[in-house]
Chain A
Amino acid sequence: MSKKTLVSFTLNGKATDVAVEPRELLIHTLRERCQHTGPHIGCETSHCGACTVDIDGMSVKSCTMLTVQAEGSEILTVEGLAQGGELHAIQEAFMQEHGLQCGFCTPGMITRVYRLLQEIPDPSEEEIRYWIAGNLCRCTGYQNIVKAVQHAAKKLRGEAVQSSHALMAGVAN
C-alpha cells in the first residue's frame, strides 16, 4: 500500500472528494466508492468501452485512467443523463429502437453517443459506426444501436421522430 491522495472532482454535477491510492483506476472509484455502478468493466485491455464516462468534454475509458488523474475534472456518467426523472433523448432512443438487450454495454455506449452527437449532430451511418468503434456489444449486432443514434440525433435536432419498430410505432415519444 502506498499513501492515499485526496482527489476532488465533480460527478454528475456534485462536488465529490475521495481518498485513493495512486494506483486506483477511475472505474473502481466510480463503482466502489461513489456507488455509480452504471459504468461497467468488460475487459482488462482497454478494448470494450463498457467503462466509458465523459470527462471534461471527452469520452474516456475509465479503466485506463487513474483516479488521481481526475483531480479537478467534470465527470458525467450514465446516472447523470436523465433530468428530473425524464430520460435523455439518447436513453429514450435506445429504448425505442431496441438498442440494448443485456444492458451491460449500454451505459458506456450511451455515454459515448452523448459526446459523439455534440461533436457531429447529424452523423451518417458510416460516421456513427466509426465513432462508436471503441464500444463493443455482444447482443445487438450494432444495427439497432445505429438506429438509436440516428433516432436520438433527430430528436436532439428538434425533428419529429418515430420508432422504426412496428410494435413501438405510435408509442408516445
Chain B
Amino acid sequence: MIPRPFEYHAPRSLPDAIGLLSRLGDEAKLLAGGHSLLPMMKLRFAQPGHLIDLAGIPGLKGIREVGGEIRIGAMTTENELIWSELLQQKCPLLVEGARLISDPQVRYKGTLGGDISHGDPGNDHPALMLALGAAFVLAGPSGERIVPAGEFFLGTYYTALEPTEILTEVRIPTPAPGAGHCYSKLKRKTGDFATAAAAVLLRMDGAAVGSVSIALTNLAPTAFRAQAAEAFLAGKELDDRTIAQAAELVMAACDPVADLRGDIQYKTAMAGVMTERALRAAHARAAR
C-alpha cells in the first residue's frame, strides 16, 4: 500500500517534460492516469526516484478527425473514449474495447497512452491498436517520430519507446464505412484482464472477405496480429468451415503463460473461441 519516497514533478509543457526525462534518466517515470504505475509502486514492484506528472501539459488530450485519420491525445481517458460521439460513429471497435477495460473509476483516470505505453500483454488497447492499424507519435529531445503499432510492442512491459520519449498521440486510419468490428474478451469478472481476447476489423467485398485484421490480447508476451489467419481469410467467404480454420491458425500462433486464469491449453483454446465469436460478430455487423 505504501510506495517508496520519490520526488514529484509537474511540468507545464512537453519540452519541459522531455527535458526532465533526459536529465533524470532511468530514475524517472512518467505519470499519466496512474492506474498501472501507482499500483506497482504501492506493491514496490516499481520504485522510481522521480515521477513526472503529464496532467498539466496542454494539448495531450482530445479526439478529432484529420483527413482520413482519427487522432487521439495520449492523455485522453477511457471514459472519454467511450463517450466520444466521433468514435461511436467512426471507430466503434475502440468504444467496444474501452467498455471492457477495468471499471468506471479506473476509466475516469486511466489513459489511452498509458495503456499502450505500459506494454502489459494483459492490456486491451495494444490488440485494438494493432487491429485498427494505428500509429503512435513519440516525442523526444530531437523531435517527433511515428511508429506503427506493429513495430511498437516488443516484449512484456517492453516497447519501442526510448527512455527520453513520450507517447503524445495515437493516429488511427478511420475505418472504412461499413467495416464490421468486434472485441471479444473472456474474463473472470468485471475489471479483470483477459484470459483471452480477440479484436477483429473486417471489410467485406460482396460475399468474400475484402480485408480483415485479427489481433489477440494476453496470449503471448505481447499483443500480436494473427497474420496467417488474416492471409487465409482474404478473399474467402466466411462460413463455419473457414472461421474454424482461421481459429486454428490463431491458436497455432499463441504463446500464453499459465497462471490463475488458466493453463496454456485452456488459454489457447479460448483464443480460438474468442476469434470465432469476434469474426462472426464482425461479419454480422459488416456491410456487404
Contacts and interface: CB of A to CB of B under 8 A. Distances in A.
Interface of A: 1-3, 5, 21-23, 25, 41, 44-47, 49, 52, 58-61, 63-66, 68-69, 71, 112, 116, 130-134
A1 B79 CA distance: 36
B51 interface: yes
Given A44-B42, A61-B105, A133-B104, A21 B35 contact: no
Contact of B103 (A3, A44, A133): A133
A66 B8 contact: yes
B5 A2 contact: yes
A133 B108 contact: no
Contact of B109 (A47, A60, A112): A60
B1 A134 contact: no
A65 B108 contact: no
Interface of B: 1-8, 10, 31, 34-35, 38-39, 41-43, 51, 53, 55, 79, 102-106, 108-109, 190-191
Given A58-B109, A64-B109, A66-B8, A47 B38 contact: no
A59 B105 contact: yes
A133 B100 CA distance: 11
B106 A46 contact: yes
B8 A22 contact: yes
- Of B6, B42, B103, B109, the most chain A CB neighbours within 10 A belong to B103
Contacts of A3: 7
Contacts of B31: 69
Nearest to B41: A23
B109 A22 contact: no
A46 B39 contact: yes
B212 to A, nearest CB: 29
B45 to A, nearest CB: 12
A116 B104 CA distance: 9
B260 to A, nearest CB: 14
A65 B5 contact: no
A61 B105 CA distance: 6
B103 A5 contact: no
A134 B191 contact: yes
A64 B39 contact: yes
A61 B106 contact: yes
Given A23-B5, A64-B39, A133-B190, 13 more contacts: A25-B42, A44-B1, A44-B43, A45-B39, A46-B38, A46-B39, A49-B103, A64-B34, A64-B38, A68-B8, A68-B53, A69-B34, A131-B104
13 contacts: A23-B2, A44-B1, A44-B43, A60-B105, A60-B108, A61-B105, A64-B34, A64-B39, A68-B10, A112-B105, A130-B190, A132-B104, A133-B103
A134 B104 contact: yes
Contact of A66 (B38, B39, B108): B38
Contacts of A22: 5-8, 51
